Amino acid sequence: MIMPEVTGMRSLVRLLLTSFVFLSSVDNGNAGITSTFIRSEWPSIDIPLDNEAFLVPKGHNAPQQVHITQGDYDGKAVIISWVTDDEPGPSKVQYGTSEKRYDFSVEGTMTNYTFYKYKSGYIHSCLVDGLEYDTKYYYKIGSGDSSREFWFQTPPKIDPDAPYKFGIIGDLGQTYNSLSTLEHYINSGGQAVLFVGDLSYSDRYQYNDVGVRWDTWGRFIERSAAYQPWIWAAGNHEIEYMPYMGEVIPFKSYLHRYTTPHVASKSSSPLWYAIRRASAHIIVLSSYSSFVKYTPQWMWLKEELKRVDREKTPWLIVLMHVPIYNSNEAHFMEGESMRAVFESWFIHYKVDVVFAGHVHAYERSYRISNIHYNVSSGDPFPRPDKSAPVYITVGDGGNQEGLAGKFRYPQPEYSAFREASYGHSTLEIKNRTHALYHWNRNDDGKKVPTDSFILHNQYWASNLRRRKLKKHFLRSSVGWTATY
């Protein structure tokens, strides 16, 4: 007769063995895959200005380019932003938990800027805080006949087992491929977007068209960004250093238009910050701000990593624009300087996953590190490292620069999967130990799940393994023989 506990033990051992087999397949340097998929690429051209994808809402001074982002450290606030074109109008947000019934209202602020001879609309930004967790809120902005209504759902409270589904999008731009990516993401059931930089690609234009294309992009993403937070990281296309037209202030358009809650994480710049959401601690870094030792970003990250509490937020996710591990010819080695500065911290703090963009293709690494190497000695090649994050590049949103189709050969041992096509990813956190990851290719309008795996939490999966093993061995020593 098999005791129930023995049966339990059998399933436990089976589960452990399965985990080991799976982990070894993710962690170690199996031969990586270079996908042979070649899609017939739609032309990488920006959608024309008069296309319905950029539709201006009807009515005098109607709010447009509506987008929200998390407004505090823990997810009980949102920042709502929008633009009015004709006159400043109110910066007020009315909101409540029932449709058409707005019991609360709060005043925001308004700004505008010029870029060459382009004058921006009136950019409103309003912090709505003190919200309840896990609640649907309806909100209304603008006034009179041209006011507009939207809604959003707050995340569950910070809890180690809170499930949550993030989308990851990078280098989106405003082409027909971008539209396909955006529509696929909207249908994915994702609850918030982790955006890894390069938003509108407006800097591909000149003079007044730069500002015009920021406006179209704002209207383009509104279909998602007005209803759920997009967590912003900046890329090179946000720098807009354009001295030939007298524009030399880095990130001018981006910083006026896309607010981040940097003060809540004690950051001195909106370009790098952190938030906690459900069971995740998300760190946003700026590839194009100083990050070497003693700079503000370096000092901030050092402190922020100490604030990470894996007992409360087991999932530690880092966003940056330039990938640290990239085997594409495009932007090869550009992440090396940040790797040299931050990689040892990522290993020490057991970051689960690092998402980046920049390279217009998809690539996923095994868990590897290169921290054993220094310029004086050591093996110069990355090696398997169970404490290392998985590095994922999703710079494949679909902008007008097209795909980065030339990978380097042979495929490095650390590269697990790579494919040069457009798409987006989702990370579906199930509990403190497991998350499901998918990369979805855009295949001529269809969404095709192409690369997927179970991400084991770096902190809890390993602790749990140790505890279960300890329990197992204790029982073995007092008479329980191994079940198989």
**Least separation, in Å, of the C-beta of 360 and Fe ion?**
8
CB contact at 8 A, 191 and 224: no
Separation of alpha carbons 475 and 484, rounded Å? 14
Q: Note every long-range contact of 255-260, with CB atoms under 8 Å and residues 24 or more positions apart, other chains counting.
A: 256/111, 256/112, 256/113, 256/120, 256/123, 257/65, 257/81, 257/83, 257/120, 257/123, 257/214, 257/218, 258/67, 258/69, 258/81, 258/199, 258/232, 259/69, 259/79, 259/81, 259/125, 260/69, 260/232, 260/284
Kindly tell me which of 123 and 320 has the beta carbon lying closer to Fe ion.
320
Instruction: Give the DSSP H/E element, type plus range, for residue 448.
Output: strand 446-456
Active site residue 124: no
**Least separation, in Å, of the C-beta of 70 and Fe ion?**
23
**Least separation, in Å, of the C-beta of 401 and Fe ion?**
9
**Least separation, in Å, of the C-beta of 331 and Fe ion?**
7
**Least separation, in Å, of the C-beta of 460 and Fe ion?**
33
In the complex, which residue's CB is closest to Fe ion? 358
Kindly tell me which of 232 and 349 has the beta carbon lying closer to Fe ion.
232
Name 104's bridge partners.
95
Kindly tell me which of 358 and 367 has the beta carbon lying closer to Fe ion.
358
Amino acid identity of residue 423, one-letter, is G
How remote is the C-alpha of 96 from its chain's centroid? 28
Catalytic annotation, pick one of 124, 237, 262, 331: 331
Kindly tell me which of 190 and 235 has the beta carbon lying closer to Fe ion.
235
Separation of alpha carbons 116 and 237, rounded Å? 17
**Which residues contact residue 271 at a Cβ distance below 8 angstroms, ignoring those fewer than 6 apart?**
234, 251, 255, 260, 262, 286, 288, 289, 297
Kindly tell me which of 275 and 404 has the beta carbon lying closer to Fe ion.
404
Kindly tell me which of 171 and 215 has the beta carbon lying closer to Fe ion.
171
**Least separation, in Å, of the C-beta of 332 and Fe ion?**
13
Instruction: Give the DSSP H/E element, type plus range, for residue 383.
Output: strand 383-384
Separation of alpha carbons 425 and 134, rounded Å? 24
Binding site for Fe ion (CB under 5 A): 198, 235-236, 358
| Catalytic positions | 331
